């Protein structure tokens, strides 16, 4: 997975984030393999925040659904 620089992250459209309104958990798709790596990473980071009680149940479902879609686990 390539490192997503902050300037690149700022230029990503909202649809490239698992939580677009907050611009959290980017899942960009320059390359299909990296897209899957970003999806796995987003789910892992989300799990950490969920364990700490920093995410709502709705946000948890949204991130997992977006990650599963990218990973082909619909």
Per-residue model confidence as pLDDT tens digits over 11-68: 888 888 888 888 888 876 555 656 888 889 889 999 999 999 998 999 999 888 888 9
Tally the C-alpha atoms within 13 A of residue 42's C-alpha that lie toward its C-beta.
Answer: 31
- pLDDT reported for residue 12: 83
- pLDDT reported for residue 33: 59
Round the CA-based radius of gyration of the chain to a whole number and report it: 12
């Amino acid at each position: 997975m390539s490192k997503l620089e902050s300037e690149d992250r700022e230029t990503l459209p909202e649809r490239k984030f698992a939580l677009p309104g907050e611009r959290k958990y980017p899942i960009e798709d320059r390359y299909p393999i990296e897209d899957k790596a970003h999806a796995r990473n987003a789910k892992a980071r989300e799990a950490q925040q969920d364990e700490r009680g920093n995410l709502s149940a709705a946000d948890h479902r949204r991130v997992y659904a977006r990650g599963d879609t990218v990973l082909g686990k619909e």
